[in-house]
Amino acid sequence: MKKILALAMAAAMSLSLAACGGGNGAASSKPAASNPPAASSTPSGSTGGGTQGSGFTTVEPGKLHMSTNAEFPPYEMLDDSGNPIGIDVEVAAAIAEKLGLELVVDNMGFDAALLAVQNGQSDIAMAGITVTEDRLAKMDFTDSYATGVQVVIVKEGSDVTMDNLGDYMIGTQLGTTGYIYASDTPENGGYGEDHVIGFETGAVAVQALVSGQVDAVIIDNLPAQEYVKANAANNLTLLEGTWVEEDYAIALQKGNVSLMEAVNGALNELKADGTFQNIVDKYITAG
Ligand code: ARG
């Protein structure tokens, strides 16, 4: 219960922060005002001038660096040639285009992707990142662009239920909210560190479930469905119900107001003109 309240508060805070930085009218009018020159001068501006006129600077002139962990389908994953694809990657590319920048995807561990943006090594972090109070203390977030739901994967016929999870071993991806909340103390709604193993990726956590090293995996809903599908031969299933609901947003370095306005403005334009939904539909119906 507490957890859900905290998350709702975190989401409200991120919304109010965003409201300070732009407001509804500003979100669509500001970028539009500064965009035509930037958009039409994209190729010539790529030597560095492109970002100056827009009031923000980026890590590398003419580029928008996105740190991510491409282990989270359908938000980010690698295609057969090792190129990053997914909802976050395409949305970031569309944002970069609006800002007259070229997207560069920096793929790394999930914790590292969050650190990179905090330290100013990347301009944005996009990795299905849940807005939490702790993270709001370390980085800023745009408006939310998706709702994530933490669910529980078990083997078919397993005795694990939502209510007795704490009696079993739970696998999660290290550094994720699944790990953070599940390993918290029982007083805070968790199961304690002894009941949780953090794995490098969600896929490895699911392998541990298949091999019997853990009894359940707590992970975000859409990746969970992908993993269950990908492991059809191993008879995995999702427990009925949701463990916790969350908001995903794009993370930026704390205090980078001008880039925040630009990115948030572009994100809201993509939502308003249907581009965002088209990208989501492409990945969610394609599976
Ligand atoms: N939504 C969860 C969190 O923010 C999991 C995100 C994991 N993302 C990833 N690309 N591996 O903690």
- Please state the pTM of the whole predicted model: 0.83
Q: How far is the CA of 110 from the centre of ligand 1 (A)?
A: 7
- Residue 8 domain-assigned (yes or no): no
Asked if the structure places residue 7 within a domain, the reply is no
140 and 35 together in one domain: yes
Is 206 in the same domain as 154?
yes
User: Does residue 69 have its Cβ closer than 6 Å to ligand 1?
Assistant: yes
Query: Is 198's C-beta closer than 6 angstroms to any atom of ligand 1?
Result: no
Is 118 inside a domain boundary?
A: yes
Mutation test of ligand 1: which of 72, 181, 222 has the most ligand atoms closer than 8 Å to its C-beta? 72
Domain count, the chain: 2
SS (H, E, C) the chain: CHHHHHHHHHHHHHHHHHHHHCCHHHHHHHHHHHHHHHHHCHHHHCCCHHHHCCCCCCCCCCEEEEEECCCECCCEEECCCCCEECHHHHHHHHHHHHCCCEEEEEECCHHHHHHHHHCCCCCEECCCCECCHHHHCCEEEEEEEEEEEEEEEEECCCCCCCCCHHHCCEEEECCCHHHHHHCCCHHHCCCCHHHEEEECCHHHHHHHHHHCCCCEEEEEHHHHHHHHHHCHHHCEEECCCCCEEEEEEEEEECCCHHHHHHHHHHHHHHHHCCHHHHHHHHHHHHC
Q: For 137-159, what is each residue's pLDDT tens digit?
A: 999 999 999 999 999 999 999 99
pLDDT of residue 53: 53
At 31 the pLDDT is 33
Please tell me whether residues 136 and 266 are part of one structural domain: yes
141 and 193 housed in the same domain = no
Residues 241 and 152 in one domain: yes
**Is the shortest distance between the CB of 86 and ligand 1 below 6 Å?**
no
164 and 262, same domain (yes or no): no
Return the residue whose CA atom lies nearest to atom 5 of ligand 1.
Answer: 176
Please give the residue range of the domain that contains residue 46. 13-145+248-283
Asked whether residue 2 is assigned to any structural domain, the reply reads no
Model pLDDT for residues 15-33, shown as the tens digit of each residue: 443 333 333 333 333 333 3
Summarised one tens digit per residue, pLDDT across range 208-244 is 999 999 999 999 999 999 999 999 899 999 999 888 8
Q: Is the CB of 84 under 6 A from ligand 1?
A: no
Whether residues 66 and 154 fall in one domain: no
Q: Model confidence over 69-118: pLDDT tens digits?
A: 999 999 999 999 999 999 999 999 999 999 999 999 999 999 999 999 99
| Residue 11, pLDDT above cutoff 70 | no
pLDDT given at position 242: 85
Ligand 1 and 152: CB distance under 6 A: no
Q: In terms of pLDDT, which residue wins out, 204 or 7?
A: 204
In CATH, what number is assigned to the domain containing residue 57? 3.40.190.10
Mean of pLDDT over the chain: 85
Is any atom of ligand 1 closer than 6 Å to the C-beta of 35? no
The yes-or-no verdict on residue 13 having pLDDT over 70 is no
Residue 173 lies in a domain: yes
Residue 28 resides in a domain: yes
The verdict on 22 and 128 lying in the same domain is yes
